[in-house]
Amino acid sequence: LTHFIHPTHQLVKTQSSSERFTCDLCRNRGTGLHYQCRACRFDLHEKCAELPEKMSFFAHPWHDLHLQPAGSMSRICDLCMEPVQGFCYRCIPCNFDVHPECSKMQQTVYTNFHPQHTLCLVPTSNCKCNACNLINRHIWLYRCLNGPSSLFGWISRLFA
């Protein structure tokens, strides 16, 4: 595999049985099937290797987002407000950053937590998550547009 974030060498699909690796894109640990550059020990999860170089995203419709290294500057994901390590999807003109995992969030979801209506992902301020009862000042939440129910985006996956 020739990959745009590591164009100098070929990446080979590798099975690691017990040896853990750190994915050079998302910086998370992994085991099992992944892509590896044997020349320089560059590793990618299979799912990270499949990420597109650029994407359009409903939460930032003005420009395409490009997969880039976070670099030495500390970056915060504009959806979940957590620090970015490794790569993120970025809009340079708008200074908008999103984790690759957060970029997979759907605009609307149906959950068992709130089966009456679909929930829409919207930017909020000072909103409380009805699942964990935490309040966050600036975060994107799944909200019921017909009532007060709200869920943090990452929590919504637990009720899918």
Domain boundaries, the chain: 12-49, 54-104, 108-159
- Quote the pTM value: 0.78
Per-residue pLDDT for 145 more than 90?
A: no
Per-residue pLDDT for 159 more than 50?
A: no
Range with lowest mean pLDDT among 35-49, 56-70, 104-118, 129-143 = 129-143
Per-residue pLDDT for 78 more than 70?
A: yes
β pairing state of 60-69 and 75-76: unpaired
Q: What b/e string do you get for 103-131 counting C-beta neighbours within 10 Å, with b at 16 or more? A: bebeeebebebbeeebbebeebeebebbb
CB atoms within 10 A of CB 85: 13
pLDDT at position 41: 87
pLDDT at position 9: 94
pLDDT at position 154: 52
Distances (CA, A) of 15 to 10, 45, 145: 16, 11, 46
Per-residue pLDDT for 87 more than 50?
A: yes
Per-residue pLDDT for 93 more than 90?
A: yes
Task: Give 98-142 pLDDT, tens digit per residue.
Answer: 999 889 888 888 877 778 888 888 887 666 666 666 666 567 778
